[in-house]
Structure 1
């Protein structure tokens, strides 16, 4: 296991990247509250908000190049993922003001949902080096991820959840699960761990985790650690609708160890093949399978509460 690298940072100037649409429009309100608290703490704030994901990515890159002490994201896991593409493998830490639906990055690192308290963590907390996952398609499309990647029934559920406006939060995923049961079937799959074939049969879902949860707290990879140099993999095998319905409450709580039909693995490299299956990373759609996943040790740098 890698040593945990924690350090205190002097935070005097930050770039605050906001997604006004995150959290059903609450992100802008939370950003304003966080910015006011930063000013109270004597921190200079450069507020940025892109007109598109591409524009936000460019603004994040420019902010890092300008020499700020931290890049702070006010939004959900998708905006954090976008910021990671510019911030990964740099010495500028990433701060988080949670303002999304799932907030699984914040959950992993113990960051409070209250924007004033989250701002205080940025200024008064510590930085920690973590691993990041990296995805690569066969045609060379690459992207980092910080939490979990889903494919199979859960990625189909995520696509459905993104079309639902009610209920809010993690309850949307539960509603989407119920709706997708109407079309449920197991999917042919091949999975390789460190180049060795370990699965060659229809499965229900496969989740790759750098951290434990996705979808607002569903602990799909309950033993994942963000600094162990490995990726976790949870596979739910072929089963009927009744058994899938029985398993999902246990997936939500992380109580899956030794559960029949559920397998857990760890590896530095994972390749998953399913025909034309969409893949969601940190809650946002990335591409379709096949994809190879690798772990990038020490690529992440987050501002978190003091231990």
Structure 2
């Protein structure tokens, strides 16, 4: 088995040499490993594409959700399995796949899976005219929170998202949203919409609590027109997934989704900016081989 290990040394505030050595040691115990240091997104994307083009059996990535998103673009639809070794702020794809959230524990688990030949395929979202996403695509209030959190380098972890939420509440207002699926069309004034392949975004917030990346369909969560006070009351429920019980929240399941409306919203997927609505996407069954 041939594995390419891509390490982002700056992830999570900096990967220590001790952690890097431990990760490499666990993987080398079961397979041939080539290690690549990639300190920026461009280098990470290039290393991931090169690993797949060279026919690597496994692409292992040490980093956060940004690095995972780039690795997904390279591995989708190929025979190269993705192994996640989370070392970032949110680590939402790792959560969705049940990967240990500590790098050394994740490397140990990946080595065990490699030795036993354990891999599976999960679904991915494919954006029309764009790339793939593995976790959640969102637009509206939560996308603005995501964008603000990405700019806040002076905070780390969940506090970054919490502060961003408070700042974005100031400008909260509902906008027209049109959601088209294979089952019909929903039009309403909405605060946010989330299309989930997995359950979580924002560092473990289960916005689409029942999303399953192996069922061939998205779970959608839509929050309609709410006041700032209503949203403040809903937000704590996000931590438990009970926000879906609020009367202003509706949920859908669909294989194909088109989001539109006169709202000017920019969609984020896997925490990365995509394009302004309208935007279409489909759930592709078993598109990504993963090592678990």
Relative to the length of structure 2, the TM-score reads 0.92
Change (3 A) 1:29 1:180: farther
Q: Which residue of 2 aligns with 1:217?
A: 204
Aligned pairs (5 A) from 1:133-282: 133-136=125-128, 140=129, 142-194=130-182, 196-199=184-187, 201-274=188-261, 275-282=263-270
Q: Does 1:21 align with 2:13?
A: no
Change (3 A) 1:67 1:83: same
After superposing the two structures, state which structure 1 stretch, 287-296 or 203-212, moved more.
Answer: 287-296
CA distance in 1: counterparts of 2:15 and 2:176, whole angstroms: 40
Deviation for aligned residue 1:36: 2.8
Q: What secondary structure does 2:287 align onto? A: strand
For structure 1, the residue ranges without an aligned partner over 5 or more in a row are 1-11
Q: Which residue of 2 aligns with 1:127?
A: 119
Deviation for aligned residue 1:207: 0.3
Q: Which residue of 1 aligns with 2:35?
A: 47
Change (3 A) 1:168 1:52: closer
Q: Which residue of 2 aligns with 1:34?
A: 23
Q: What secondary structure does 2:25 align onto? A: helix
After superposing the two structures, state which structure 1 stretch, 148-157 or 268-277, moved more.
Answer: 268-277
CA distance in 1: counterparts of 2:191 and 2:16, whole angstroms: 34
Deviation for aligned residue 1:301: 1.2
Q: Does 1:111 align with 2:99?
A: yes
For structure 2, the residue ranges without an aligned partner over 5 or more in a row are none
CA distance in 2: counterparts of 1:30 and 1:189, whole angstroms: 46
Q: What secondary structure does 2:284 align onto? A: strand
Q: What secondary structure does 1:62 align onto? A: helix
Change (3 A) 1:171 1:29: farther
Q: What secondary structure does 1:214 align onto? A: coil
Deviation for aligned residue 1:108: 1.3
Matching residue within 30, 44, 64 for 2:52: 64
Structure 2 contact 49–74 (Cα < 8 Å) conserved: yes
Task: Tell me the number of residue pairs that the alignment of Structure 1 and Structure 2 aligns.
Answer: 287
CA distance in 2: counterparts of 1:65 and 1:186, whole angstroms: 45
Matching residue within 65, 68, 72 for 1:80: 68
Q: What secondary structure does 1:233 align onto? A: strand
